Structure 1
């Protein structure tokens, strides 16, 4: 098991590569900086990883506005500010993954802006609520030629090739501007057209470049691998960028063997207790000092105003590391809950979760949260109602359609209801969380070259079912599935449908 502790107080939508940029950045760092400069409105161009004239001009404009002394040199303070501003812009725009399975296209869109959707004859269409901003995907060179012709009759603003395979055309007609993008794919020319009021051009033209930079056609085809540098895996990715948790937290291990944290009306202490002796062990006259790497059994004690409320320990919690949280999981009682997790040994296992909840008569009830793979990404207040949900990957997907490392699992979201944990993953209130997960999954699959694998597609379709993109994802499967070398009893789509049905997807 790989133990990863992620601060949960806040997150910033940004590029992981951006956080690593230095005075002498790599090509990937520069691509991340270019992506951020698009979102600050300073750069309009491709992510080519080079510090060319347009990139330097954009960087200097940003630095001048922010009173940075960089003057074209990439300073760590600039990187931090770029991450902050571009991340906030992506979050406000609802920047998330969209799937056009019919045309076998994946693209990133500002879903907070393009809230309406239509399945046009040529594929999926997206528009603002008032219809003034509209995006459509095209799969014919005729559509691109029509845009070029339209630009010639109106006001042609930009008509250029980004590289050997991609080109853009920007034109204006009366009070509207349109942005056309096309790329050479295995099945032919594919692209999109974005139309918007000319008055909105300063805001939407940079966003159109951002859409173009994340546009992927025929992702499972060999040509996509040749153009991977033009579509970096971090497009639209988010990272956690916080130093504090929004709740009381403490941990113990083989060296730090006790911790105390305070809730609103009680104190919780977690101490490393002795492991249970082997069945045939001889009794010892005096207690020996624990070995440095010896596992222990956590012992939880809760006090209120100096009064001992209860104490509990369980040999099943035997561990080398355990942590404790005081967090509001259910407002149906007077006090927040106490969460205890312990980590067992093993390559892919396990986290044991136990919750203690105060009852109206002053007693505390123990709720077993089960065991699951890896380190939990919880708790999080996903919908801002003051009650925290427990978020973890759905372990049923691990090894179900491929090896452990080949598996891509969707999020499982649970909420405490009385004295039981309820799966609320399908609740519409958490759709944005699943959209973020879909983007994370795509980035990892794209980087790993796993887009056509069954392990990727299973999790991808399941997550898309949660975001409302299920039909498009199934069409994506038809276009990109790569059958495994080992023959299976039934086609992948049939096996996946049965599996998802049994898991309430």
Structure 2
């Protein structure tokens, strides 16, 4: 994670067209506090020891302030590290209100994990609220205006695919896209307006494609899903049926009941093609 020097004064942003700019403030080794300002509110972030569940730990604290009052406070994730961490970004996301939103991100710590994301969003009456975007692998994706409508969408690899059929490094994942509208998170990945984004993502995946006899279960799963997003799921599945060669570890452990966590006595082993078909179908990827 890069580190920005502490901001000695708020960064003032002139009103610009929706999604024409983003601005970011970040905590780090030499930045124990930071701030950003938009037209009618400010965002501040600093480290503070807070009680998290049943223990106390330093965590990033994000606030929305205006006129000397704190309008919203959100406590980020403690990473278990001494170094300050946390990022706030101003970006236009929600078309149902005025002005930009503030995206708060903090790192949970741990291998291959995780950035926790939350959006500070205003309702129709101008009251601030926190919209939870969940935890995401690595740096936590990005916000960009993918369809040119003036509002930024969150996009990242679909984390459901990581470890689903293979090791982390062996797993490929399709693009997933989220929009925040009216304070609600919507999975808009399958909407036609994002077809070009999926095509670009697929082209990047295929540029590094292995030979068919070297493709593992994790690669096949992600590639078929990415092809389904551009309307080519059926062709991809047929190629998989022609070219996939089961190995000694072809079986996949799946839960026989729709319960989480899965009871120990309900784990069963299924052939990879059978498990993959069910996995993709349950998540709306069309392969027929």
Q: Tell me what 1:256 maps to.
A: 31
Paired residue for 1:410, among 164, 169, 174? 174
Q: Tell me what 2:104 maps to.
A: 340
Note closer, same or farther for the CA distance 1:473–1:274 as it changes in structure 2 (3 Å cut). same
Q: How many residues align?
A: 248
What whole-Å deviation, never above 9, does each CA across 1:76-111 have from its counterpart, x for those lacking one? xxxxxxxxxxxxxxxxxxxxxxxxxxxxxxxxxxxx
* Residue aligned with 2:167, SS: coil
Cα pair 1:393 1:409 within 8 Å, conserved = yes
Write the distance in 2 (CA, Å) between the matches of 1:358 and 1:259: 22
**Structure having greater relative contact order (Cα 8 Å, sep ≥ 6):** 1
Q: Tell me what 2:132 maps to.
A: 368
Note closer, same or farther for the CA distance 1:323–1:257 as it changes in structure 2 (3 Å cut). same
Shift of 1:441: 1.7
Greater strand share, structure number: 2
Note closer, same or farther for the CA distance 1:274–1:280 as it changes in structure 2 (3 Å cut). closer
Paired residue for 1:302, among 50, 54, 64? 64
What whole-Å deviation, never above 9, does each CA across 1:291-341 have from its counterpart, x for those lacking one? xxxx7311222233x432424142x52134211111111121122211101
* Residue aligned with 2:208, SS: helix
Write the distance in 1 (CA, Å) between the matches of 2:54 and 2:219: 45
* Residue aligned with 1:374, SS: coil
Alignment of 1:51-450 (within 5 A): 246-276=21-51, 296-304=58-66, 306-314=67-75, 317-319=77-79, 320-446=84-210
What whole-Å deviation, never above 9, does each CA across 1:440-479 have from its counterpart, x for those lacking one? 22233339x8852111010000010011111221122123
Note closer, same or farther for the CA distance 1:415–1:277 as it changes in structure 2 (3 Å cut). closer
Compare CA radii of gyration and give the structure with the larger one.
1
Paired residue for 1:486, among 231, 238, 249? 249
Cα pair 2:94 2:183 within 8 Å, conserved = no
Write the distance in 2 (CA, Å) between the matches of 1:277 and 1:500: 36
* Residue aligned with 1:274, SS: strand
Shift of 1:248: 1.4
Write the distance in 2 (CA, Å) between the matches of 1:275 and 1:450: 52
Write the distance in 1 (CA, Å) between the matches of 2:52 and 2:232: 54
Write the distance in 1 (CA, Å) between the matches of 2:58 and 2:152: 29
Note closer, same or farther for the CA distance 1:480–1:278 as it changes in structure 2 (3 Å cut). closer
- Structure 1, unpaired ranges of 5+: 6-244, 282-294
Q: TM-score scaled to structure 1, two decimals?
A: 0.46
Paired residue for 1:465, among 186, 203, 228? 228
Shift of 1:480: 2.5
Cα pair 1:359 1:365 within 8 Å, conserved = yes
Shift of 1:278: 10
Cα pair 2:77 2:106 within 8 Å, conserved = yes
Q: TM-score scaled to structure 2, two decimals?
A: 0.78
Note closer, same or farther for the CA distance 1:280–1:427 as it changes in structure 2 (3 Å cut). closer
Note closer, same or farther for the CA distance 1:450–1:358 as it changes in structure 2 (3 Å cut). farther
Cα pair 2:78 2:108 within 8 Å, conserved = yes
Write the distance in 1 (CA, Å) between the matches of 2:105 and 2:25: 11
Note closer, same or farther for the CA distance 1:299–1:461 as it changes in structure 2 (3 Å cut). same
Cα pair 2:24 2:36 within 8 Å, conserved = yes
Cα pair 1:380 1:388 within 8 Å, conserved = yes
Say if 2:277 is the partner of 1:497: yes
Cα pair 1:248 1:263 within 8 Å, conserved = no
Cα pair 1:450 1:456 within 8 Å, conserved = no
Say if 2:228 is the partner of 1:456: no
RMSD in angstroms over aligned alpha carbons?
A: 2.6
